Structure formats: structure tokens, C-alpha cells
Amino acid sequence: MATLSEARRILDRLVAFPTVSRDTNLPLVDWVEDYLKGHGVTARRVWNEERTKANLWCSVGPDVAGGVILSGHSDVVPVEGQSWTTDPWTVTEKDGRLYGRGTCDMKGFVALALAAVPLALKAGVRRPLQIALSIDEELGCVGCVPMVAEMAARAPRAAAVIVGEPSRMRAVTGHKGGLMFRTEVTGFPVHSSLMHTGVNAIMEAAKLIDWANAQNAANRAAVPSPLAAVFDPPWTTVHVGQIRGGTAHNITAEHCTFGLDFRVVPGEAAEDWARAYQAKVAEVEAGMKAVRPETGVTLTRVFDVPPLVPEAGGAAEALARAITGDNGSHVVSYGTEAGHFQKAGYSTVVCGPGDIAQAHQADEYIEVAEFEAGWRFMQAVVAGLAA
């Protein structure tokens, strides 16, 4: 019989797989597939283009509509450069916390969902419990898209989707949408003493990053709309987190690359922000080409994350609130795969154990009490499907 200790055993196994987004997740997928097969459940893989990673989904119970999808991602962020005091790939329990990479974000929820499979089988659910395990969430929620499409086409249509991102078991009904561009600036290298005859890709990139700073300042100073006011922060943010470029200090940089993303509040259109950035890029590029025509700026759309919009009378929200007793109004500024499920026509809510403040941190942890609350949530979901 499925128990909380079984969920903990599964968590130990999942964390032991170093499924950083840049690497394969196939050893973890193999293990999960074998686990499900051991309970007589057949899972389906949805591969990435290179077939180096795979989403995995399954349906437990009768082939009828009206079930519940439990959605989680298999990838985690890197640990390099962080000061861990425990082994990030081993779950360490101390002081009422379970430490390890992904314990909070979000292998804790995945472990609980997998432990609910034998519980659902034993209960004889009348509507299916479905598991959706995705890839590349940490790269912009891009990996789940083909899996969501396949589930919408082939799986019994679920009545509700629970995306188990850490929310302290509160029902999160809205989040910002987002998009990201990879910006590649190509300059013309000359000796820095003759910089006026070349084009410095880093310095041209700085103009675009300064544009981002100006947008943030203006957005922060503006009075937020009622739709935006409930978010923290209550404005659209423009962010650059990494930049690379240059050959040597005394050479004008030939190349510079950075990522720039928008997290867009409701009431504003992501495409409007995309067009505004593209217009600024065109302006900067024109100045570059006036010096050296062979220079330029290339934009590549990396991801688009649809917003999660509160649903009037949504089945997923009602389910989460009925189980947790949470009657508060909760929205978050980070993006999740919930937007993709909702876009595909599913009633969707974010609700999972753990605190997002611990995600991506050194010594990431989930509180034991939160993990236990997550298990009670799974028991209630299964009981509802069996009723």
C-alpha cells in the first residue's frame, strides 16, 4: 500500500538523478517508467527533437473523462558556484527539513504524485489519475508543449490540472506570462585605440541593456492597473541575467550575446513588449551599420510562457480549495507550465508543497511538514476520484 514513507523513498531516488536542464533526464525517466510498469501502468514518452530527453505521461484508472492531471517537471537548475553544506544529490533530513537539489522545485511533488499511483489503483478510482512529467521547465517551460498537445489529443480529458510548483499548498490562480529573446550582437573588431573605425558589440549591447533598465524604471514609477496591482512586483519586468562577449580588452568586441526576458502583467500584451524591443534593436543596429555595414543584431525567440488567468468557477481551483481549505487570493510573478495547460483548454491551478523562496538556492529544502501536507493532498485527490 502506498504510504508517506514510500513517497520519501521515491524522493530519494529522484534527487539522486542529476537532471540539470543542460543534461539528459533519461536515467530518471527509465526509473520512473520501470516504477510505473511495476504497478501495471504503461507510460508514454514524448521526446525532444534530439531524443536526448523525454517527457513522460500516464493515465491510471478507467479510460473516461473527468480525471485529474498532476503535473511536475523533471529538470533542476545547476549547483555549480553555490555553497552547499550537504550533498545536493542526496536527500539529507535535519531540523525538520529535507535538503537536496529539487526537493522543493519540484521533485517533492513528483515523488508524492508517483506514490499516489498505487494508492489510486488500490482505491479503484472511477476517474483517472494522470501524471505529466516534463522536461526543460527551467529553460522557459518549453519542454512540456508537445506533451500537453499529446495528452489533449490522446488521453481521457481531465477535469482539472494541478501544477505542483511550490506554493505552500495554496491555490495559485494566476501568474505572469513571459517571453525571452537571445540577442546576438555582431560588431567589427579593431584596435581599441581606433575604436571609432570599428563597432564594439559589447558597447552596442549595453545600449539595449540600458533600454531594459529604462523600461524597468518607467514601469516601476507608473501606477499599476487593478489587474497588475495584485502581483509582486506589480509591473512588467525586463531582465538580463547573463552576458558573454569580447576577445581582449584592447580589441573592440566582435561578438556579444545575452538573454533578455519579459515577465508581463495582465492587461499588457507580450507581443507589444516584443515589438518595442525589436524597434530598439532596429535603432541600435542602424547606428552600427552606419559605421560598418556587415555588423548587426540577431534576435532568436527562446520561449513564450502563456499567463495563467484566474478562471470564474474553475474546476481546478475549486478542487484545490476544497482539499486545502485555502480561500485566499494568490498570484505569483514566476511562470509555470500551468499557462500551457490552460491554453490547451484545461482548467488549471498551481498548488504544491514547499516555498518558492527555497527554489534554486544552495541547500535547497522542503519542510517535512510541507511534504506531509502534500501527501494528505494526494490522498484527498485519490479519494475524490474514487467517489
119: Cβ contacts below 8 Å, ≥ 6 apart:
1, 2, 378, 379, 382
DSSP code per residue over 52-70 = S-EEEEEEES-S-S--EEE
Cα separation, 29 vs 131, whole angstroms: 13
What's the number of CA atoms in the CB half-sphere (13 Å) around residue 363?
A: 8
- In terms of Cα–Cα distance, which of 285, 236, 284, 242 is closest to 260? 242
> Which three three-digit cell numbers place residue 7?
513517497
Cα gap 130→150, rounded to integer Å: 13
CB atoms within 10 A of CB 53: 24
The torsion angles phi and psi of 358, rounded to 5 degrees, stand at -90, -15
Residue 274 CA to residue 266 CA, distance in Å, equals 15
Largest CA distance in the chain: 78
C-alpha cell of 364? 535547497
360 contact partners, CB below 8 Å, separation of at least 6: 77, 105
Task: Point out the residues that are catalytic.
Answer: 75, 137
